Structure 1
């Protein structure tokens, strides 16, 4: 990999991202020696601008960043370091240097799960989702079955809009069923990862 260390007086920014959750954990700087040591040791190493020396993240705390991979940007002057963190990344004890929890997110589906959780924990008479939880697991499971059949029927036709609508209904009701059973998407993803 060609890295342009000249632009930054021998240093390039190194953005560290969790290889699993894809969360940005921190930003550090690398010179050629830090890059070489990172690749050789498998532990992310930076050049400390305040200490004027190499430092391996976790050398004092034990909270290492185990290297998964490094990518260069289009200008060859910024690195994206993917790593598996061992413990909190920030020196202040938080998961990230932005005080965010380093949890896997599924984008909009995670937001939807939060809404479903809220409807389960704070039922409302006006909420369709709350009404399903109130009717119990058998009704929720029945709805998933009905939606699955509708997806199969629409898959055999040529109306893509109806197929996608029914697919969305199936996914939504499946998320409700997961929570009715005490699970979330993360639990299903763990099973899939185990099969990979």
Structure 2
């Protein structure tokens, strides 16, 4: 099992947890909109570190952004498996062709 799958499984398990004892449960209890807001904050922090060029800080912020992306998706019942299926569907398709088909 990959670390990303482990993270996804942990997020799924925390859906019913006590918000007082789990950060993930606390985020999820605030609803999809708050989860989306938090993902946006983390994404911006990753962008800032990418621009600055600090590899170590970018790695940490990218990990935070991935976590918050998965929480946001979980809040709308979109699983890592759903995302992987979409990536598989797109595999082998030119990015330009894929964009043009939208």
TM-score higher than 0.5: yes
- CA 1:188/1:194 → structure 2, altered by over 3 Å: closer, same or farther? same
Which residue of 1 is the match for residue 4 of structure 2?
109
Large movers: runs of 4+ above 4 Å? none
Which residue of 2 is the match for residue 160 of structure 1?
55
- Residue of 14, 20, 29 corresponding to 1:119: 14
1:129 maps onto 2:24 in alignment: yes
Answer 1 or 2: higher relative contact order, Cα 8 Å, separation at least 6. 2
CA-based RMSD: 1.2
Distance of 2:9 and 2:90 partners within structure 1: 27
Q: How many residues align?
A: 91
Q: Deviations over 1:86-135 (max 9, x none)?
A: xxxxxxxxxxxxxxxxxxx5x12111112111111223412111110111
Moved more, 114-123 or 171-180: 114-123
Which residue of 2 is the match for residue 78 of structure 1?
none
- Residue of 57, 61, 64 corresponding to 1:169: 64
Distance of 1:124 and 1:150 partners within structure 2: 25
Which residue of 2 is the match for residue 184 of structure 1?
79
Unaligned 5+ residue runs, structure 2?
92-102
Unaligned 5+ residue runs, structure 1?
1-104
**Post-superposition shift, 1:158?**
2.4
Larger Rg: 1
Query: Structure 2-normalised TM-score?
Result: 0.82
